[in-house]
Amino acid sequence: MKKLTLCFFAVFAAVCLLPAARLFPAGNAAAATLRVKGENGVYETDIEEFVARGVNALAAEIEGPETACALAVALRSCAYYVLENGCKHADCEFCEDPGCCFPLATETGGAGGEAAEKTRGETLIWRGAAAPALYTVCSGGGTRDCAALPFNSAVKRESVCEKHRAELRFGESELCAAFGAESAGGACFACDGNGYCEFALIGGKVCRAEEIIKTLSLPSAAFRVAYEDGAAVFSVFGEGRGYGLDVCRANLQESEGMGWREILKTAFPLAERVKKP
Amino acid 239: pLDDT:
80
Amino acid 10: pLDDT:
39
- Residue 156 corresponds to which amino acid? K
Amino acid 56: pLDDT:
97
Residues 6+ apart with CB under 8 A from 14: 87, 88
The DSSP letter of residue 186 is -
Amino acid 26: pLDDT:
34
Residue 124 near residue 272 (C-beta atoms within 8 A): yes
Residues 219, 10: Cα–Cα separation, whole Å = 14
Domain boundaries, the chain: 2-157+241-275, 165-237
Alpha helices by DSSP H, the chain: 2-16, 47-56, 65-85, 110-118, 172-178, 209-216, 247-255, 260-267
Read off the pLDDT of residues 120-156 as tens digits, 9 standing for 90 and up.
999 999 988 999 998 888 887 777 667 667 777 677 7
Amino acid 227: pLDDT:
77
Tell me which residues of the chain have a pLDDT lower than 50: 1-31
Read off the pLDDT of residues 7-28 as tens digits, 9 standing for 90 and up.
443 344 344 334 333 333 333 3
CA max distance for the chain: 64
Instruction: Give the pTM.
Output: 0.75
Amino acid 185: pLDDT:
65
Q: For the purposes of burial, counting CB atoms within 10 Å of the CB of 188, is it exposed (0-12), middle (13-18) or buried (19 or more)?
A: exposed
- Residue 49 corresponds to which amino acid? E
Residues 6+ apart with CB under 8 A from 52: 72, 107, 108, 109, 110, 112, 113, 115, 116
Is 154 in a helix, a strand, or coil?
A: coil
